[in-house]
Structure 1
Amino acid sequence: MNLALVVIDVQRGLFETEPAPAEAGAVVARINGLSARAHQAGVPVIFVQHEDDGDLAPDSRGWALHPTLDVQPGDHRIRKTTPDAFLRTGLDEVLSFCGVEGVVLCGYATEFCVDTTTRSAAAHGYHVVLAADAHTTHDKPHADAARIRAHHNATLPAIRSFGPSIRALPSAEIAFAG
């Protein structure tokens, strides 16, 4: 299956906060491991950046990708304004042009943009592999980030009604075919 790696919202304005998202450094390191394997296999790598009128204003410091992300010159960039990386963006067109049948998803925020993009990817006909330890969020009053991530890793793969599969795997177990 032809895959693409989609990295969602790993931006300075979301990661350089106090407190930082849960396991922020480890999550970025796992994303970089996925990215390195994707690059090695010739798999498209797509960085999605959320933008708004506040801290994530386009081309601002907060909007910029996290400085330790491994971004290569041939990587794709997608701008979005909603939690859905497919809605009013060129993501579907980029994936289609690259002949992609499935996506590996990772990034921020588990319960918003990662969740919504996972569902939307399946609705668009893509098989989804959620990198179970390479997405994160901030603690919330009702649940800490670890519990939120565990919940989504358990519930998203249980959705079968879209047709394409949704799986959650540790990032170290995700392989990209060249």
Structure 2
Amino acid sequence: MQSKRKVSFTPTVTVYPVAKLSDNEEDKSRLYYSRGELASITREVKAIIHLSKLPQVAGSVPNGIGSGIHNCIVDLQADFSLRGLELYLYPVRAMNKLLRMTAIMKYQHALNSDSSLSESERSRSLADMSTKLSRWSQEVAMETARLDSIRSHGDDYLIPMTSETEAKRRRVSCDKDVNTRS
């Protein structure tokens, strides 16, 4: 039996005002990035990606055909400093993320405009659609986590088995009497 879940979205946002962190210009420059600093960080990231010599397989495939999990993850042998730059390294990954978000929002709008569906049917349908779209992201996240564990633990890392071990029943007979001790 499937568990009952309710999916809901609130159309309002609560905004919490933030008090001034500092009035001093020196403190402001220390606490916040300027536009120039943000642009410099972006240029550095692009330079690192350009110099990394990683093949941009997923970036060369515009429609996503053949862009499996391994075409959007930094390989195990790659430089560890590239971890976290996947959205820059593989533009298809960023594009897929944006497409998933817009698809969910469009589907929710279409469900809300359909008056023939009940509220529970809308919720169930939206949850099913979101689950289907998130499946590939979950696989990418699991593979990234596995590679991170291998990087951090090295050769000592034991890869967990995803399939359950099979238990076999066997009949065991004992020749000696249980009450007698040797």
Q: TM over 0.5: same fold?
A: no
Quick check: which has more Rg, 1 or 2? Answer: 2
TM-score (norm 2): 0.23
| Structure with a larger share of its residues in strand | 1
Q: Select the structure with the greater relative contact order (CA < 8 A; seq sep ≥ 6).
A: 1
| Structure with a larger share of its residues in helix | 2
